[in-house]
Structure 1
């Protein structure tokens, strides 16, 4: 499987909740996900995810919590 190979090429995907995932570059993007601009080695893609995905909470939770804070 591509995830086990260090020489495989990956792409970084993101979903509507702004959650990120690595995906083999030669595989079709699953429903509910879209490609980012990042492609490359596993290490490069992981570094991109670490830079970009700074808040692990799903977007809907962040928005709900932001709304609660505004109400208080």
Structure 2
């Protein structure tokens, strides 16, 4: 069995958290709390391309006032 987080033939979501960190997530799993879907179900490479195009600053956003 292949790793569901690295299956090039799988279907994925792109998630983002409050710090604007992005994650590739298997579409058959519910997203974890604190993460929002920003790219609906698509192929592995399509989702990776979406992350590359939209997550240009890899440093996490700091909470306001910290």
Bigger relative contact order (CA 8 A; separation at least 6): 2
The Cα shift of 1:36 comes to 0.7
1:17 aligns with 2:28: no
TM-score of the pair, normalised by structure 2: 0.83
User: Alignment RMSD, CA only?
Assistant: 1.8
Q: How many residues align?
A: 63
Moved over 6 A (4+): none
Structure with bigger gyration radius = 1
Q: Which has the higher strand share?
A: 2
TM-score of the pair, normalised by structure 1: 0.77
